[in-house]
Every structure is written in structure tokens, then in C-alpha cells.
């Protein structure tokens, strides 16, 4: 008997609770740095102009594909460790979801933690660009 995966909102709340339990932004940064090491690195061939996300302060690459079961597969990388940590959280929340679930998701864990105050407006805009790109690419592959 398989158990149903919690919703994106439920999993995101766990992320928010975990980040907030770490205390100040330095604890949260340390956690993101630790997570960055768990995110698989994309090959140089996968880091192309086609996979580069616009609107980000750092370089961010996204690979979004349709898995055999019809869900969305997400792989990501960045040239910045903190952003790699954020990407690790985003991949854990969204990989293996349906395009519909991803399209309806409001990914807001940065805004609901001390990270929001620590990030520049450019970094926050980059986060918004990453979320929008994942939603767009998910919808595109779902319609193929």
C-alpha cells in the first residue's frame, strides 16, 4: 500500500518550520549551504543558454522534463551556493508533481522566513523568475 505524498503547501510548511526553527538568518544560510552540497551538479553540456534562467542575479540553469509517469522532473544548478540551497528546496518540493500542481503552487518559503530580509531585491526577483520559469516549462511539457 502506497501512501500519498503531502501537498506542496504541506511540504512547504515543513520547510518554513525547519528554516524558522534554525533561529536567525545565519542559521538559515548555513542550512542552505548544507543543502547546496546535496543538489546534483548539471554537466557543462546541460548548462547552456537554453537552460539559463533570465532575471537572476546568479547564473541558474533549469532542466524540466516529463517523467514516464507523466509527472514533471526538475533538475537545477547555480554558480552560487546559497542559490543552490534554495534550488535544492524547490526541487524537493516540485520534482515528481503534476504540471497542474506546480502551476497552482505558491512557492513562498523565502518570504515566510528571515531570508526575505537578508536577500536583495535582485535576489528576490531572481527567485520569482525561477518559480515562473518552472511553471511555464511544466505547462509546456504537459501539453506535449
Instruction: Indicate which residues carry an active-site annotation.
Output: 56
Buried b (16+ CB within 10 A) or exposed e, 40-54: eebeeeebeeebebe
Q: What angle do CA 102, 44, 121 make, to 5 degrees?
A: 50
Give the position of cell 532575471.
55
Name the burial class of residue 137, with classes exposed (0-12), middle (13-18) and buried (19+) by CB atoms within 10 angstroms of its CB.
buried
Amino acid at each position: 500500500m502506497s501512501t500519498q505524498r503531502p501537498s506542496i503547501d504541506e511540504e512547504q510548511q515543513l520547510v518554513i518550520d525547519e528554516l524558522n526553527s534554525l533561529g536567525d538568518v545565519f542559521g538559515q544560510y548555513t542550512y542552505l549551504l548544507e543543502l547546496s552540497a546535496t543538489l546534483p551538479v548539471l554537466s557543462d553540456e546541460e548548462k547552456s543558454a537554453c537552460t539559463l534562467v533570465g532575471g537572476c542575479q546568479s547564473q541558474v540553469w533549469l532542466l524540466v522534463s516529463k517523467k514516464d509517469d507523466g509527472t514533471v522532473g526538475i533538475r537545477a544548478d547555480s554558480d552560487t551556493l546559497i542559490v543552490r540551497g534554495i534550488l535544492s528546496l524547490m526541487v524537493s518540493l516540485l520534482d515528481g508533481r503534476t504540471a497542474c500542481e506546480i502551476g497552482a503552487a505558491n512557492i513562498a518559503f523565502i518570504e515566510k522566513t528571515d531570508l526575505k530580509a537578508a536577500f536583495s531585491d535582485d535576489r528576490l526577483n531572481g527567485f520569482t523568475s525561477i518559480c515562473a520559469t518552472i511553471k511555464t516549462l511544466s505547462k509546456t511539457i504537459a501539453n506535449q
